[in-house]
Amino acid sequence: MQNNHKVRMNRLFGGGRCLDVAIDHGVCNEPSFLDGLEDMEVVVEALVAARPDAIQMNYGQADLLQTVSGKDKPALVMRIDMGNPYNRIRHRDMWAVLQNEAEPLIGAIEMDAACVVVNLFMLPDEPDLFRQCVRNIARVRADCEKYGMPLMIEPLAMQPVTERGGYMVDGDTQKIVTLTRLAREMGADIVKADPTDDAEDFHRVVEAARCPVLVRGGGKEDLQTVLDKSSALMRQGAQGMVYGRNIYQHANPGSVVRALMAIIHEDASGEAAFARYQQG
């Protein structure tokens, strides 16, 4: 099955790098994540026109991408799990489940996905949530081997909910490196990792992964900051980005995609990428 695995990886990594635009936020059950995603048909049409390498979606919306005619369109990355850590409150029970526990990959295979993605949450004082994620990954990994489907693992080390009004990213290098290493030990083909607080430390995450590392975008930030940080992270060995809100919540998502593609595929600086953005 490894040949199938390689075929799907090749669909993601044009020239060895990838911009994956995440619009799978509907399963997070967090109202603020839906700003900009109200009309998914319009969103997908605009993103297809902007031509990132991939678009990350859930099964229930993936038809909007995969029914687009022609071969020259972004690859599909399919989210196959869901959980409740993204709300601004701490729930009585924290959970993460596969969207289809009986056959986790069936939707991805049906929709011709190039890759599937699963969370690895590490929240303070929530060991059962972590255990659920480990079980999910173990379950999915077996099917990925069986069907030649690349597995993207998303290791998320988060701060306590009391720190910033919700479970926010913990950019501590050691925590990210350790959790990334765990993702690799469990068989990740791709790691979607949070940026380290100091971008100059990110090479340690890349070393721990021993597979392609895509940087997770997280919450919306000033565009120039996003582009400068993205350029710095690419110089540390990242092979691309998985950005959602920093693209779809922007006034001109297509221009942001083109700016990020310049950084990822042309080694553009943050300044040069911002100039590309301004060209529209």
Q: Give the domains, in start order, of the chain with CATH numbers.
A: 2-278 (3.20.20.70)
Mean pLDDT of 207-232: 94
Mean pLDDT of 252-279: 97
Chain centroid, CA 1 distance in Å: 24
Work out the mean pLDDT of the chain and round it to a whole number.
93
pLDDT at 89 over 80: no
> Between 90 and 150, whose confidence is greater?
150
What phi and psi values does residue 163 have, to the nearest 5 degrees? Answer: -70, -50
Strands (E), the chain: 18-22, 54-57, 75-79, 81-83, 96-98, 115-122, 151-157, 190-193, 213-216, 240-243
Structure tokens at 76: 């599909």
Q: How far is CA 160 from CA 10, 89, 90, 109, 227, in A?
A: 38, 11, 9, 37, 28
Bridge partner residues of 157 (DSSP): 122
> Between 74 and 14, whose confidence is greater?
74
> Between 160 and 42, whose confidence is greater?
42
The Cα–Cα gap between 176 and 41 comes to 35
Residue-level pLDDT at 165: 54
Which residue's entry shows tokens 């930030």?
221
pTM comes to 0.95
Question: What region, left, alpha or beta, does residue 180 occupy, with left being phi > 0 and alpha being psi -120 to 50 degrees?
Answer: alpha
Lowest mean pLDDT among 157-171, 211-225, 249-263: 157-171
Structure tokens at 25: 């936020």
Residue-level pLDDT at 188: 98
Q: What is the DSSP letter of 221?
A: -
Residue-level pLDDT at 1: 43
Q: How do strand 75-79 and strand 81-83 relate by DSSP bridges?
A: unpaired
Confidence of residue 20 (pLDDT cuts 50, 70, 90): very high
The Cα–Cα gap between 130 and 133 comes to 5
pLDDT tens digits, 49-71: 999 999 999 999 999 999 999 88
Identity of the amino acid at 191: V
Q: What is the DSSP letter of 200?
A: G
Which residue's entry shows tokens 């690895």?
120
pLDDT tens digits, 94-131: 999 999 999 999 999 999 999 999 999 999 888 999 99
Is residue 213 within 8 A of residue 20, CB to CB? The reply is no
Confidence of residue 90 (pLDDT cuts 50, 70, 90): confident
The Cα–Cα gap between 179 and 157 comes to 7
